Amino acid sequence: MGKFIPVSEPWLTGKELEYVQDAIKSTFISSEGKYIEEFERKFASYIGRKFGVACSSGTNALILALRALELEKGSEVILPSFTIISCALAVIYNDLIPVFVDSDMKTWNMNPDEIERKITSKTKAILMVHTYGFPCDVDRIVEIAQKYNLYIVEDFAEAIGSEYKGVKCGNFGIISCTSFYANKLITTGEGGMCLTDDERLAEKMKRLRNLAFIPEKRFFHYELGFNFRMTNIQAAIGLAQIENIEQRIKKKIFIGESYSKLLKPLEDEGVISLPPQDPQHKNTFWMYGVLLKNGITADEIMKKLYERGIQTRPFFYPLHLQPAFERFSWFKRENLSISEYLGKYGFYLPSGLTLDEEKIRFAAESLIDILKK
Ligand SMILES: *Cc1c(COP(=O)(O)O)cnc(C)c1O
């Protein structure tokens, strides 16, 4: 095999090493130390929220957010079927019931009409997830949440830097959660954060991530907490990544727009759909997704791309079909046809920040060549 193009690669070209060295020299390598608060403050302020609570992963950020809202056991939380399992786990681990909704073919995000259709007297929250960098239909979802008095918890792990009508994703939830896993727009290796404007919720999440210790009395606990702490070393990496975040976003958009230009003829011929675009919103193309429309499954095309040294990933396998959930009393067989279509015919091309024009062209032209055969 000649060249190999990974689907994603972390981009660590700023002051990561300098800050990590500093953290190590300071001996603060656990979850105390100056980088945590600075990272929380800078990231929250970049997005435009008052408080940031860093934690050990995006999944744990979601668990923490839903825990902090203290929803009554058995309450229903509406979330997309077409997303990562973390979203459903956060619901289930909080003794809540996940209610899966279908996606909208135009946005690949949750369909607001479907949300409204699934609301019952037990519904307490909507978990709003922006998929692959393109914002949800925020206005409609906010309107529904207000009408039925529901919380919105936002998951913008795939939409750091994306904007809905000029407002950054991460501003639309009572708590908004993100991930800093290695393939996310900024990374801390492993890590996540909850953002909120509510000081009481921020304090609660800080307490819960740290075993619910309280400052007044050592080793005395009113609540059941978690160890979801982020380390000072991770925060040091994150801080360095924020310093060049605009450059990262620009590069992602360049990659996305380059692919779109090269693949446009295939879309015009009706062979594939390109990722959602809308001049009103900013898509940061976290991952550049392609949806096949010629009846060939993503698996087949991905295998052929891999033979040419191009690594890809399939779209999410719908959550409403996950065998892990079959044993729950709330599980029901349903047909969410758009999620199922996306799961079967979608995949994403290499989308990492280390890509250059030549690699983008090679990946796109290989796909064109494979689909023309
Ligand atoms: C990556 C991701 C997560 C999970 O984050 P981890 O840090 O891997 O736990 C959650 N939600 C979405 C939408 C993601 O893309």
The closest-lying atom of ligand 1 relative to the alpha carbon of residue 184 is: 1
**DSSP secondary structure string, 160-220?**
TT-EETTEETTSSSSEEEEE-BTTSSS--BS-EEEEES-HHHHHHHHHHHBTT--SSSTT-
Distance between CA 31 and CA 53 in Å, rounded? 12
C-alpha of residue 61 to centroid of ligand 1, in Å: 9
Q: Is the pLDDT of residue 158 over 90?
A: yes
Q: Is the pLDDT of residue 79 over 70?
A: yes
Q: What's the whole-number mean pLDDT along residues 243-263?
A: 98
Predicted local distance difference test score (pLDDT) of residue 168: 98
What tens digit of pLDDT does each residue of 119-151 get? 999 999 999 999 999 999 999 999 999 999 999
The closest-lying atom of ligand 1 relative to the alpha carbon of residue 180 is: 7
Q: What share of the chain is helix, strand, coil (3-state, %, to 5)?
A: 40, 15, 45
Ligand 1, from 8, 56, 57, 59: best to mutate by most atoms within 8 Å of Cβ?
59
Q: Is the pLDDT of residue 215 over 90?
A: yes
CA–chain centroid gap for 292, Å, is 23
Distance between CA 245 and CA 316 in Å, rounded? 26
Q: Is 301 in contact with 366 (CB distance < 8 Å)?
A: no
The closest-lying atom of ligand 1 relative to the alpha carbon of residue 86 is: 10
C-alpha of residue 289 to centroid of ligand 1, in Å: 17
CA–chain centroid gap for 328, Å, is 25
The β-bridge relationship of strands 192-196 and 272-273 is: unpaired
DSSP state of 315: P
Q: What's the whole-number mean pLDDT along residues 307-316?
A: 98
Determine what percent of the chain is predicted with pLDDT higher than 90: 99
What tens digit of pLDDT does each residue of 332-369 get? 999 999 999 999 999 999 999 999 999 999 999 999 99
C-alpha of residue 184 to centroid of ligand 1, in Å: 8
Residue 287 host element (H or E) = none
C-alpha of residue 180 to centroid of ligand 1, in Å: 8
| Residue 373's pLDDT band (cuts 50, 70, 90) | confident
Predicted local distance difference test score (pLDDT) of residue 202: 98
C-alpha of residue 188 to centroid of ligand 1, in Å: 13
Least Cα distance to 126 among 176, 167, 191, 164 occurs for 176
Q: Is 104 in contact with 110 (CB distance < 8 Å)?
A: yes
**DSSP secondary structure string, 29-97?**
-SS-SHHHHHHHHHHHHHHT-SEEEEES-HHHHHHHHHHHTTPPTT-EEEEESSS-HHHHHHHHTTT-E
Predicted local distance difference test score (pLDDT) of residue 118: 98
Least Cα distance to 287 among 183, 166, 169 occurs for 183
The closest-lying atom of ligand 1 relative to the alpha carbon of residue 60 is: 9
Predicted local distance difference test score (pLDDT) of residue 318: 98
C-alpha of residue 316 to centroid of ligand 1, in Å: 12
Distance between CA 178 and CA 54 in Å, rounded? 9
End-to-end CA distance of the chain: 21
What average pLDDT does the chain have?
97
Distance between CA 171 and CA 128 in Å, rounded? 12
Tell me whether residue 222 is exposed, middle or buried, using C-beta atoms within 10 angstroms of its C-beta: 0 to 12, 13 to 18, 19 or more: exposed
CA–chain centroid gap for 340, Å, is 19
Q: How many CB atoms lie within 10 A of CB 164?
A: 21
Predicted local distance difference test score (pLDDT) of residue 2: 62
C-alpha of residue 178 to centroid of ligand 1, in Å: 7
What tens digit of pLDDT does each residue of 159-192 get? 999 999 999 999 999 999 999 999 999 999 999 9
C-alpha of residue 370 to centroid of ligand 1, in Å: 31
Least Cα distance to 339 among 324, 319, 322, 325 occurs for 319
The closest-lying atom of ligand 1 relative to the alpha carbon of residue 190 is: 7
Q: What's the whole-number mean pLDDT along residues 71-91?
A: 98
What tens digit of pLDDT does each residue of 95-119 get? 999 999 999 999 999 999 999 999 9
Q: What angle do CA 136, 318, 145 make, to 5 degrees?
A: 35
What tens digit of pLDDT does each residue of 24-78 get? 999 999 999 999 999 999 999 999 999 999 999 999 999 999 999 999 999 999 9
Q: Is the pLDDT of residue 1 over 60?
A: no
Residue whose CA lies nearest to ligand 1 atom number 3: 58
Ligand 1 contacts (CB < 6 A) are 57-59, 83-84, 86-87, 129, 155, 157-158, 179, 181, 192
The closest-lying atom of ligand 1 relative to the alpha carbon of residue 192 is: 7
Residue whose CA lies nearest to ligand 1 atom number 11: 157
Q: What are phi and psi of 66, to 5 degrees?
A: -70, -30
